[in-house]
Structure 1
Amino acid sequence: MKINQNTVLQGQRVTLVPYTSAHVPRYHEWMRSEELQRLTASEPLSLEQEYEMQRSWRDDADILFSPECTFIVLDTARWAGQERADEDCMVGDVNLFLTDAEDPTLGEIEIMIAEPSYRGRGFGKEATLMMMSYGVRNLGITKFEAKIGQENETSICMFKKLHFKEVGVNSVFQEVTLRLDVGDQERQWLLEQTNHVEEKSYVEPKLPAGTLET
């Protein structure tokens, strides 16, 4: 994940920033939700385990078991120019995994809009497009996959609107696999969809006073 540790991507609705230790407490609160655990096929972790997970995502060199790229999704309107702390503007996260050691051009993308009030308002769509564009431009990704629980019809519909096609169903894990091959036409479309995005340098926020990273 070090490739994007100093990168901010600012869009119209969302701003993407690297996942740092300052974001962990809010992220931990999200993942206590049984709904999010179900939708993301995740197990609840302690706060200490979440800090360790964040460190491993930042530092782990084994790209098959840790995201190649992770961004926290912020509400641009709340964050930009208002001197608000990141954690006050957090909406969700977006991840890109390299899951095939023999094909580094294949990226598996995950998006989570954790705050219920932000769902269905285009935040997930813009964050996904921004991550895909970043992957194409900076990581050489030419193929994307998304694995989504069969019950998550909203996410399945969103990815299909982004030109993904359903290529498989896993009845054991009850998930659907969708895929997008980025040829010249799709690449041009993707870059056009994200030509408003500004890339900036990121300054990692400090932990609140009295907070200890465990």
Structure 2
Amino acid sequence: MKINQNTVLQGQRVTLVPYTSAHVPRYHEWMQSEELQRLTASEPLSLEQEYEMQRSWRDDADILFSPECTFIVLDTARWAGQERADEDCMVGDVNLFLTDAEDPTLGEIEIMIAEPSYRGRGFGKEATLMMMSYGVRNLGITKFEAKIGQENETSICMFKKLHFKEVAVNSVFQEVTLRLDVGDQERQWLLEQTNHVEEKSYVEPKLPAGTLET
């Protein structure tokens, strides 16, 4: 995940920043939600375990077991316009995994808009497009997959609107796999969709006074 540790991607609705220790407390709060645990197929972790997970995602060189790239999704208007701390503007996260050791051009993408008030407003769509564009331009990704729970019809519909096609259904895990092959036409479309995005340098926020990263 170190590839994007100094990168900010600022879009119209969302700004993507690297996942740092300063984001962990809010992220940990989100993941206590049974709904988010179900939608992301995640188990609840302690705060200490969440800090350890963040460190492993940042430092782990084994790309098959940690995201190749993780961004925290911020509300651009709150973050850029009012100079608020990242934690006050967090709405979700987006991840890109390299899951096939024999094909580094295949990326599995995950998007989570954790704050209910931000769902259905285009934040997930823009964050996903921005991550896909980053993957194509910086990681050499030419194929994307998304694995989504069958009950998550909203997310499935969003990916289909982004030109993904359903390629498999796993009845055991109740999961749908969608795929997008990025040829010349799709690449041009993707870059056009994200030509408004500004790439900037990121300064990692400091932990609040009295907070210990365990």
Normalising to structure 2: TM-score of the pair?
Answer: 1.00
Match of 2:18 in 1: 18
Note the alpha carbon deviations across 1:39-88, whole angstroms, 9 max, x for none: 00000000000000000000000000000000000000000042200000
Within 2, Cα distance between the matches of 1:172 and 1:80?
A: 44
- Counterpart of 1:35 in 2: which secondary structure? helix
Identity %: 99
Where structure 1 has 5 or more consecutive residues not aligned to the other structure, the ranges are none
After superposition, the C-alpha distances for 1:119-176 in whole angstroms (9 at most, x for unaligned) are: 0000000000000000000000000000000000000000000000000000110000
Deviations 1:96-133 (A, max 9, x none): 00000000000000000000000000000000000000
Structure-2 residue corresponding to 1:181: 181
**SS at 1:77 equivalent:** helix
Counterparts of 1:23 and 1:67, CA distance in 2: 16
CA distance in 2, matches of 1:77, 1:84: 10
CA distance, structure 1, for counterparts of residue 101 and residue 172 of structure 2: 24
Moved more, 80-89 or 114-123: 80-89
Alignment partner, residue 56 of structure 1:
56
Report the secondary structure of 2:186's partner residue: helix
Give, in angstroms, the shift of residue 193 of structure 1.
0.0
SS in 1 for 2:156: helix
Q: How big is the shift at 1:5?
A: 0.1
- For residues 149 and 204 of structure 1, the distance between their equivalents in structure 2, rounded to whole angstroms, comes to 33
The DSSP-based 3-state class of the residue aligned with 2:53 is: helix
How far has the Cα of 1:91 moved from its partner?
0.3
Which residue number corresponds to residue 166 of structure 1? 166
CA distance in 2, matches of 1:185, 1:48: 45
SS in 2 for 1:108: strand
Alignment of 1:134 with 2:134, yes or no, is: yes
Number of corresponding residues: 214
Which 4+ residue blocks in structure 1 deviate beyond 3 angstroms? none
Say which SS state the counterpart of residue 80 (structure 1) adopts. helix
Report the Cα distance in structure 2 between the residues aligned to 1:55 and 1:48, rounded to whole angstroms. 11
CA RMSD of aligned residues (A): 0.3
User: In structure 1, how many angstroms separate the alpha carbons of the residues matched to 2:83 and 2:178?
Assistant: 39
> Unpaired runs of 5+ in structure 2?
none
Q: Which position in structure 2 is the counterpart of 1:68?
A: 68
Provide the C-alpha distance between the structure 1 equivalents of 2:83 and 2:175, rounded to a whole number of angstroms: 40
